[in-house]
Amino acid sequence: MLIQERPAPPSTKEELLNHARALAGQTLGQIANRLNIAVPENLQHSKGWQGQLIETALGGIDATFAGPDFPELGIELKTIPLDHRGLPKESTYVCAIELSEIHGQQWKTSLIYNKLKQVLWMPIESEKHIPISQRHIGMPLLWSPSKLQEGILKTDWEEHMEKISLGRIAEITAHMGNVLQVRPKAASGKIRRKSSNEQGETKDTLPRGFYLRPAFTSEILKQNFINPA
DNA sequence: CCGTGATCATCT
DNA sequence: AGATGATCACGG
């Protein structure tokens, strides 16, 4: 991705939100053109393209950093693909799961909590038949989990982490978790990573990541109607 | 190789 | 159709 005019990082939450709202109604093509970024024909070989584009447009940091996209503000950016009904088309990847040194991890200090405590959701029109350059950005939402939502996330997280700490990660499937899933996250099914249990014994396992179910992100996006931007 | 950005491809 | 398990590209 060639970037010629990368915006500076926003210094305040208001600045970020204003910039994000200014993108609403625009197409991916318009945004890409301003940044001199080429638009791919399809996303099959450019799966993270939209996320990188919006992150660049808003002045976020490098995607490779294992933390919030806007560290100063503690805000994570997530693009979310919508179908014609305005519902999420896919689950939302949150972060990789640490497979070692998981003993004693607490929810409040976990990587996933720190990623989810404040998220800027950028909806993107993602019907298959619409050319990528013509897809529109929807109205963004700056969200933090409600007490109820956080409780559900925490419970899911604790159940998953307990299995992992017991060395039973192989038993975890995407069927588990009310709103938070554990699914493979690797370049291929052949990749292996060391996973250690409470006794310090290690096993090689497929790397996993945390994902939010579409039903959960759908509920989150409804706040756009309760609290119109 | 690993974690970031996610969507794809297949099965039910 | 929707969900699950698998995969693609990139920078460090």
In order of start, what are the domains of chain A with their CATH numbers?
A: 13-224 (3.40.600.10)
pLDDT of residue A44: 96
Cite the DSSP H helix spans in A35-179: 49-57, 111-116, 147-165
Q: How far is the CA of A46 from the C1' of C11 (A)?
A: 15
Confirm if A195 and A161 have CB atoms less than 8 A apart: no
Q: How far apart, in whole angstroms, are the C-alpha atoms of residue A96 and residue A183?
A: 10
**According to the model, what pLDDT value does residue A163 have?**
96
pLDDT of residue A2: 46
Nearest nucleotide, CA A63 to C1': B4
Q: Are A87 and A36 in contact (CB under 8 A)?
A: no
DSSP A28: H
pLDDT for res A206 = 97
CB proximity list for A75: less than 8 A, separation 6 or greater = A13, A16, A68, A69, A118, A119, A120, A142
Whose CA is closest to A79, among A66, A97, A67, A92?
A: A92
The bridge status of strand A92-96 relative to strand A208-212 is antiparallel
Q: Is A54 helix (H, G, I), strand (E, B) or coil?
A: helix
The CA–C1' separation of A165 and C11, in angstroms, is: 31
- The nucleotide minimizing the C1' distance to residue A46's CA is C9
Residue nearest to nucleotide C1 (CA to C1'): A89
Q: How far apart are CA A16 and CA A7, in angstroms?
A: 11
Whether A211 and A94 have beta carbons less than 8 Å apart is answered as yes
Considering any atom of strand B, list protein residues whose CB lies within 7 Å.
Answer: A 42-44, 46-48, 50-52, 54-55, 63-67, 69, 76-81, 89-93, 95-96, 98, 111, 124, 126, 185, 187, 191, 193, 207, 209, 211
Distance between the alpha carbon (CA) of A227 and the C1' atom of B6, Å: 28
Which of A165, A31, A37 is closest to A110 using CA atoms? A165
Q: How far is the CA of A148 from the C1' of B10 (A)?
A: 34
pLDDT at residue A62 in the model:
72
Which residues in chain A land under pLDDT 70?
A: 1-5, 63, 224-229
CA atoms within 13 A on the CB side of A134: 5
Contacts of A110 (CB under 8 A, 6+ apart): A157
Chain B nucleotides with an atom closer than 7 Å to a protein C-beta? 1-9
> Integer distance in angstroms from CA A112 to C1' B3?
13
Distance CA A9, CA A211 (A): 27
